[in-house]
């Protein structure tokens, strides 16, 4: 790595973090407006508000990364073009690809970092943020004390149905536990009980009037509850349906497979899963657009570059949002809705890059 490489890397990284910080503060300011009202209403202490903001940082980072890459690329290259450094490099026989190499590598690493956040951290932080909002703003518990009409999957092959559950009493009523065959190809056994009680220390259940129905022989018999092991926490039983954005990608994938097998609608989860991948890769694509536009020196400098970044970045957000809505309604295939914006902007970015004024 020579002095030119170090100069380009330092300038690009500075421009990237400047762009990230600008858009990060905009998103943070929007979040802070709601928090200020909640603090004034006494629903949050300042310390709790900071904790709530902290839980929202992964989502803000993933949303601002493509904008940061786009603006960073524009600022870095346009500054070099303004100072005639680009012209000097061209005269020296240095290709534009050579100048753009390290920004492209850096933007790829940013995309991988965003994908890693989307894979695991995003769902966990969104869950904590959502639970805190429910507890403090809606004055209710993230997990209910009691619930009717329950359906929970305990393991990959086990589904629990119950008419009623109460956390304080530690009971369930009108219980049906279905054991499925491998691959959900049929019912292996069905266990029914009039009621059940949990051991809060072990999360193991004992049942009243427990009966076993064998799906193979079509026979039913009464069995001793001590010979039947069933372990599931009351929080899992009473948990509400979780929004797709509050799940990690492994959890999303698992639920998609399960919902598909039992014939339930997994559209929202599939959209969220594939969009997390495509949106993470958009940071890499935005680099090509930013570098290409930045190579064209225009009057107005930073103001024009910031304006271009906002227009291009939010047009991507807007286009993606429209297509996701179409996919949700079943008008457009999910894969196409999630990846079409990426493919279009990639084609535009590569075309601009190949025709960059250098």
Three-class DSSP category at 146: strand
- Between CA 160 and CA 175 the distance in angstroms is 7
pLDDT band at 185 (very low <50, low <70, confident <90, very high): low
**pLDDT tens string 304-313:** 767 777 788 8
| Model pTM above 0.85 | no
Q: What local confidence, expressed as pLDDT, does residue 298 receive? A: 57
Q: What local confidence, expressed as pLDDT, does residue 38 receive? A: 84
- Which residues contact residue 349 at a Cβ distance below 8 angstroms, ignoring those fewer than 6 apart? 285, 286, 287, 288, 289, 292
- Between CA 252 and CA 86 the distance in angstroms is 46
pLDDT at 142 over 60: no
Q: What does DSSP assign to residue 243? A: P
The stretch 315-335 carries a mean pLDDT of 93
Residue 241: is it exposed, middle or buried by C-beta count within 10 angstroms (0-12/13-18/19+)? exposed
- Between CA 47 and CA 50 the distance in angstroms is 5
Q: What local confidence, expressed as pLDDT, does residue 241 receive? A: 63
pLDDT at 264 over 70: no
Give which of 189, 194, 198, 199 is closest to 171, Cα–Cα: 198
Q: Give bridge partners of residue 178 from the DSSP assignment.
A: 159, 190
Handedness of CA 130, 135, 138, 140 (dihedral sign): positive
Domain assignments of the chain as residue spans, ordered by start: 3-138+267-354, 146-239
- Share the mean pLDDT of the chain: 84
């Amino acid at each position: 790595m020579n002095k030119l490489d170090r100069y380009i890397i330092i300038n690009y990284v500075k421009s990237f973090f400047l762009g990230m910080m600008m858009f990060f503060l905009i998103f943070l300011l929007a979040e802070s407006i709601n928090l200020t009202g909640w603090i004034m209403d006494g629903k949050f202490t300042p310390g709790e508000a900071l904790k709530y903001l902290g839980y929202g940082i992964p989502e803000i980072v993933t949303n601002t990364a493509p904008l940061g890459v786009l603006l960073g690329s524009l600022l870095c290259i346009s500054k070099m073009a303004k100072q005639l450094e680009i012209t000097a490099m061209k005269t020296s026989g240095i290709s534009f690809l050579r100048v753009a190499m390290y920004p492209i590598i850096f933007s790829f690493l940013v995309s991988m970092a965003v994908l890693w956040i989307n894979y695991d951290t995003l769902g966990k932080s969104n869950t904590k943020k959502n639970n805190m909002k429910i507890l403090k703003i809606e004055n209710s518990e993230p997990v209910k004390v009691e619930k009717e009409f329950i359906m929970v999957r305990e393991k990959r092959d086990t589904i629990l149905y119950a008419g009623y559950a109460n956390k304080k009493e530690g009971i369930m009523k009108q219980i049906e536990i279905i054991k499925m065959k491998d691959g959900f190809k049929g019912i292996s056994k069905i266990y029914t009980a009039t009621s059940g009680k949990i051991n809060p220390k072990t999360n193991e259940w004992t049942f009243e009037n427990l009966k076993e129905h064998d799906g193979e022989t079509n026979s039913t018999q009464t069995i001793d509850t001590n010979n039947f092991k069933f372990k599931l926490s009351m929080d899992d039983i009473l948990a509400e349906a979780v929004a797709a954005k509050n799940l990690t990608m492994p959890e999303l994938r698992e639920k998609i497979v399960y919902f598909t097998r039992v014939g339930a609608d997994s559209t929202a989860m599939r959209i969220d899963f594939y969009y997390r991948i495509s949106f993470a890769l958009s940071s890499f694509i935005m680099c090509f657009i930013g570098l290409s536009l930045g190579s064209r020196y225009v009057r107005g400098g930073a103001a024009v570059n910031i304006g271009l970044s906002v227009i291009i970045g939010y047009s991507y957000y807007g286009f993606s949002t429209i297509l996701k809505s179409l996919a949700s309604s079943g008008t457009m295939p999910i894969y196409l809705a999630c990846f079409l914006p990426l493919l279009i902007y990639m084609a535009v970015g590569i075309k601009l890059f190949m025709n960059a004024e250098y």
